[in-house]
Structure 1
Amino acid sequence: MKRAKVAILGAGFIADIHLESYTRYVPEAEVVAVYTRDAEKAKAFAEKHHIPHHYSSLDDLFSSAEFDVVDICLPNFLHKDATLKAAAAGKHIIIEKPLAVTLEEADEMIAACEKAGVKLMYAEELCFAPKYERARKLVEEGGVGEVYMLKQSEKHSGPHSDWFYDVNLSGGGVLMDMGCHGIAWFRWMLKNAKAVNVSASMKTVLHKGRTKGEDVSIVTVEFENGVIGLVENSWAKQGGMDDVSEIYGIDGVAYADLFRGNSVLAYSRNGYGYAMEKTDTTVGWSFCVFEEAFNQGYPQELKHFIDCVLHDKEPLVTGKDGRAVLEIIYAAYASAGQGRKIDLPFHQRVNKPIDLWLKP
């Protein structure tokens, strides 16, 4: 069987999820190298996952290792540089959300990949999550009639890594981290219908001493076909993670909950956590997810991209889709900052999207 060789950039939580997905579900791929800025962390990750090569320099990775695909699982502010170097080296790229920090970076990344003739896939796992996909197919089968509203929410008490809280590194708060999922899913459900305006409200309620970013956001997107999308996100919700979609049609309704029904209901006085590190997020009642990677669509999206590379197909979700999501995020920050509806297309040059809220 022909296999694509993969280099993973990053060694954090999401890189672990991707590595597990390749190992368990994508036999067409072989992870041959890992890069992270910390040499010891790169070595430890490689040893843990039996990866033959590890690097703490992107230049060394691209000049020394032989591979076909770059899987970018790095912090947001590193996306552009990694993408440009991968494109220049002729590597196909799958990149975690958000595509970039700014629209200017996104445009540069897309142009570089087009010039180099390499594939660029925007890794939106909700477009591949089994429950969400079954709900989409139910809609296509006429199960709810004409859709008039979509809702998606993702909520928990905060991200795994400290860099998410630094808006200079992340570009924003919970909207940049999780709101991008709901926005991308709206476009996926609506076959990339054009968004025409955005309204948003956001605030910081739990992490005031830790970040300038919002930890609660509500965004409404109106599309050209008349459908309204409402995405709710929170870093302030206790008791574990929620990820839910709702589809409203004139003849019916459909709900998809990624974790409840695929979890263990638990109560803990002391808490438990990822890699056995106890955290306050799991004190009390919570839902223990036993198949996070599969339920959220990570293996399915990676398998799809490897198939695209091996058989020269266009990915279903591309860098241009990631840019469209980022433009809506820009408009949402501007709406929250100005207290009014923002029409699309929208582009205002800023250092980071959240500046449109913090400095309207």
Structure 2
Amino acid sequence: MEKTLRVGIIGAGGIAKDVHIPNYLKCGEKVELAAISDVVKEKAEQVANEFNIPHTFTSYEEMFQKVELDAVSICTPNKFHYPATIAALHAGCHVLCEKPPAMTVKEAEEMAMMGEKAGKILTYGFHYRHAPEVELLKRFIDGGELGDLYAARVTAMRRRGIPGWGVFTNKELQGGGPLIDIGVHMLDTALYLMGYPEPDTVFGVTYQKLGNRKGVGLMGSWDWENFSVEDMARGMITFKNGASIILETAFAANVEKADEMNVTLMGDKGGADVFPLKIYQEKHEALLDITPAYLPKANYHELELRRFVDSCLEDTTPLSTPKQGVYLQQIINGLYESALKGEAVKISENVSI
């Protein structure tokens, strides 16, 4: 009989009830949703009733004590990723933690070390890696079609896309704004396609020009009087292998498109834009643009959750690894530090994993 993964959910907000729980249910008999915890009792009970989850708790510590679990999804604000992950790994659970890994590099390092010590899977919710465009382009890259990838451009821009729900504009709970929320997705996608090179130096600037005043909201009305994060971040990252990335991300900016999420890669044998996928090469004395005639439709989140479940059941390495999480956290925190200091920041070489 096929083993069933007993899963617990930490945090009963939108990402849990709209993404994690429905996609776990699509896994059928492979998954049993056994428990959910949230500091707000009513939220946990409401989600549990909606999805027939038998056990509810207001603390994950009590959940781990009273319910035997194999794995957990951590769907809390960023500030609580670290303590929840450490507790889950200590309790012997595999962990899928929503992005970003943590609030600090030290937290990300300790999470990675705890995962290794516990012998459990620790992975992060970077669902764009599972996009058909990314998977196809990765095959081109692995086949040498783009050659040495030495430059990239990362874009995660919204015209007026400040979230009007949740805690996305609360720096204390989230650690930042668009850089750590949406920019991190495209940054991770670029790094993944580039082979996750080790970062060397970052230079970043942040702005708070539109979020702290009333304005048109395309994603609901936000609490502009308590807006404590950046509304735009820009930066440059260099890597120890000589590669570089230019990054631009915003919740709100005076640009044409309402929402643009993209990665551009440049190699010595070819380049590409990822969304939509278009590959640029020089062959047979001609410059060529290559586009796929067909790509399958895919629910990135569903693939992410299915693959996490399979990794847990089959003891295979997940697509997103803890060491990659540390590199990503180094870059994010380095960009914020650089913006605060007004100068480039050298990434520490002392990665303790």
- Contact 1:330–1:346 at 8 Å: present in 2 too? no
Which of these residues, 181, 190, 193, is aligned with residue 194 of structure 2? 190
Q: 1: CA distance between counterparts of 2:210 and 2:29?
A: 42
Quote the offset at 1:346 in angstroms: 7.0
Residue 247 (structure 1) aligns with: 265
Q: 1: CA distance between counterparts of 2:39 and 2:298?
A: 28
Q: 1: CA distance between counterparts of 2:69 and 2:157?
A: 36
Q: 1: CA distance between counterparts of 2:88 and 2:276?
A: 33
Q: How does 1:269-348 map to 2 (within 5 A)?
A: 294-295=298-299, 297-345=300-348
Structure 2: any 5+ residue segments left out of the alignment?
A: 213-224, 278-296
Deviations 1:162-212 (A, max 9, x none): 422121111122212122223322331222211111121220122123322
Quote the offset at 1:96 in angstroms: 0.8
Query: Runs ≥4 in structure 1, deviation > 4 angstroms?
Result: 237-240
Q: How does 1:24-103 map to 2 (within 5 A)?
A: 24=26, 28-103=30-105
- Contact 1:243–1:258 at 8 Å: present in 2 too? no
Task: Report the 3-state secondary structure (helix = DSSP H, G, I; strand = E; otherwise coil) of the residue aligned with 2:274.
Answer: strand
- Cα 1:249–1:320 change in 2 (3 A) is closer
Instruction: Name whichever of 172-181 and 22-31 sits farther off.
Output: 22-31
Q: 2: CA distance between counterparts of 1:85 and 1:100?
A: 14
Q: How does 1:107-118 map to 2 (within 5 A)?
A: 107-118=109-120
Q: How does 1:138-177 map to 2 (within 5 A)?
A: 138-156=140-158, 157-159=161-163, 161-177=165-181
1:228 aligned to 2:251?
no
Which of these residues, 109, 113, 122, is aligned with residue 124 of structure 2? 122
Quote the offset at 1:41 in angstroms: 0.8
- Cα 1:236–1:246 change in 2 (3 A) is same
Q: 2: CA distance between counterparts of 1:66 and 1:254?
A: 46
Task: Report the 3-state secondary structure (helix = DSSP H, G, I; strand = E; otherwise coil) of the residue aligned with 1:253.
Answer: strand
Deviations 1:87-135 (A, max 9, x none): 2211111111111112232233233333333221122222222222222
Residue identity opposite 2:134 in structure 1: Y
Quote the offset at 1:84 in angstroms: 2.1
Task: Report the 3-state secondary structure (helix = DSSP H, G, I; strand = E; otherwise coil) of the residue aligned with 2:133.
Answer: helix
- Cα 1:114–1:140 change in 2 (3 A) is closer
Q: 2: CA distance between counterparts of 1:11 and 1:299?
A: 18
Q: How many residues align?
A: 313
- Cα 1:318–1:142 change in 2 (3 A) is closer
Residue identity opposite 1:4 in structure 2: L
Quote the offset at 1:240 in angstroms: 4.8
Structural RMSD (CA): 2.5
Give the TM-score normalised by the residue count of structure 2.
0.80
Q: 1: CA distance between counterparts of 2:28 and 2:128?
A: 18
Task: Report the 3-state secondary structure (helix = DSSP H, G, I; strand = E; otherwise coil) of the residue aligned with 2:107.
Answer: helix
Task: Report the 3-state secondary structure (helix = DSSP H, G, I; strand = E; otherwise coil) of the residue aligned with 2:167.
Answer: helix
- Contact 2:265–2:273 at 8 Å: present in 1 too? yes
- Cα 1:258–1:86 change in 2 (3 A) is farther
Instruction: Name whichever of 167-176 and 134-143 sits farther off.
Output: 134-143
- Contact 1:128–1:301 at 8 Å: present in 2 too? yes
- Cα 1:109–1:327 change in 2 (3 A) is same
- Contact 1:247–1:254 at 8 Å: present in 2 too? yes
Q: 1: CA distance between counterparts of 2:56 and 2:119?
A: 27
Task: Report the 3-state secondary structure (helix = DSSP H, G, I; strand = E; otherwise coil) of the residue aligned with 1:200.
Answer: strand
Task: Report the 3-state secondary structure (helix = DSSP H, G, I; strand = E; otherwise coil) of the residue aligned with 2:261.
Answer: strand
Task: Report the 3-state secondary structure (helix = DSSP H, G, I; strand = E; otherwise coil) of the residue aligned with 1:257.
Answer: coil
- Cα 1:212–1:11 change in 2 (3 A) is same
